[in-house]
Structure 1
Amino acid sequence: MITYEFRKSNRSLLAAYAVRLLLEHLREITQFHSVGNCFPYGPKTPKPKLAEEWLAKTPGLTGRCGHRNACPVCARVHEAKMRKRFAYAFDQYIAGSCTPWWQTLEAGFDVSLEARQRYEVLNRLWVRVLNSRRIKRARAALGVAYMRVTEETLINGVWTPHFHALWMFPRHVSEVEVVAFIGEFNSKWRNLQSKTLGLLPSIRLLHSDSLDSNTVPIMQYLFKSFRVEIDEEGQFSKQGMKTPLDYLISAVMSGDAYHLEIWQAYEIASSGIRRYIFSRNWLDAY
């Protein structure tokens, strides 16, 4: 039992313990039995049942399961690495007087498309736009770097992806050139969207805007998919159902079978999807 004195004097330790305990439970309910090996176990720490069964079937195999989108443990580890990569390069760009610009890229999907197909179709659209002649030429001329994040929302019971793109324009690029590039990208996106099988045409403007140079709020927004918030009493405190992880937590804490089905649908759909993508020159800066 955790006493009041412990809570009062060790709030940060309690929060870390609560997150670890929550992830242990989350890991046990996923479809990937291999996630039982994702935590480092000490000699006196018993392994969960799923971990023992899996390790017994695959002797000599160690390490994390590697499911970076659906394993609560591996996803958080991967997210932490990508957050570090982003923060270091972003600060370097800001120190060099680069201009950050935000863009949200979405598309309407045919209702017949399953979640996995929606991820694949949207990614193909991104690749086509990014490598189109005029956009590729403009990227090279301006020297712009980018980071792309994949997020998803539940629409009519189907996980539906969208992208957030963060563009970094060198200081020699004028505001007029920035606006022209974003406008050209948006126009090309909507044009190819109307010609892509499985996507519905749209004339709605895509959201885009300039950003300030404060790293923290941008990073918190970009890396929120597997964020776990614990209050001072060690209780899960996130409100609302937005991310796949929210549904998994709900399934574990309330026993809601429907929420577990939603999570499992996400596990299948997201397998192998690259959530964080950096341009080569972003990686060079890092």
Structure 2
Amino acid sequence: MKWQGRRGSRNIEDRRRMSGGARAGGIGGLGLVAVVVIGLFLGVDVSPFLQGAGGVQQGGSSTITAADEERAQFVSVVLADTEEIWTDIFARQVGQPYDPATLVLFKGVTQSPCGGASGATGPFYCPGDQKAYLDTDFFVTMQRKLGAGGDFAAAYVVAHEIAHHVQNELGILGQANQIRAQTSEAQSNAISVRIELQADCYSGIWARHVGDRFGALEQGDIAEAMNAARQIGDDTLQSNAGRVPQPHTFTHGTSQQRQTWFATGYESGDIRACDTFSANAL
């Protein structure tokens, strides 16, 4: 992805240097709460890879490396792209203004209205404050533990979380989560799958317009995003964790479904093509 030297977003809340920071040594403490949050709002739950790890260890202020700064700049550019693209799509396809989300960068752990956030368990969107939360160390986890490396794979993750904000702006996320709260666990999971697949479809729309509007796509970028979608499918995550996939527990969709809906958004560029809630088959 061509991102160096391009405009970044001002809607970044940087908590990485906050004193009294922490590093996540596992999924105990706040990290355990984060797993619950992830079940509701996240694009990927990597907790199966953290089984048996220790708790969150408190420490001093976080050290920000040159790699951290580069990832933060990358995220800022991707976020700026989402802002410009969704503002245009809302104007042309929705007929209403788009109010951008704020993205919170943190290192280790932080708090949100949706609960504690742990860098070990991945990024998420919290509708309570309309902010996306991201520890950029997750990009390292993607590459080393999930086999989903590449800058456009990382961009896909950011676009997916912002897609949840798009759903929130359209009133979809609130309605879906309200229904989920009134149904059985299996039904709630099924609705969650449709939420996540729609976010994948919206991510595909974003990818299409990044190429058309900014000429930012490079050879192999879409393949990186499709590979990431495959690696974070519920069936693949459960299989890689040594478990037999249990469809009734899926909350984000299979690898094939996630790839299919990303491709649907990318090929159509049209928000109307992403109505996963009306689809008879996912």
Q: TM-score, normalised by structure 2?
A: 0.26
Larger Cα-atom Rg: 1
Comparing both chains, which one has the higher relative contact order based on Cα–Cα distances under 8 Å and sequence gaps of 6 or more? 1
Bigger fraction of residues in strand: 1
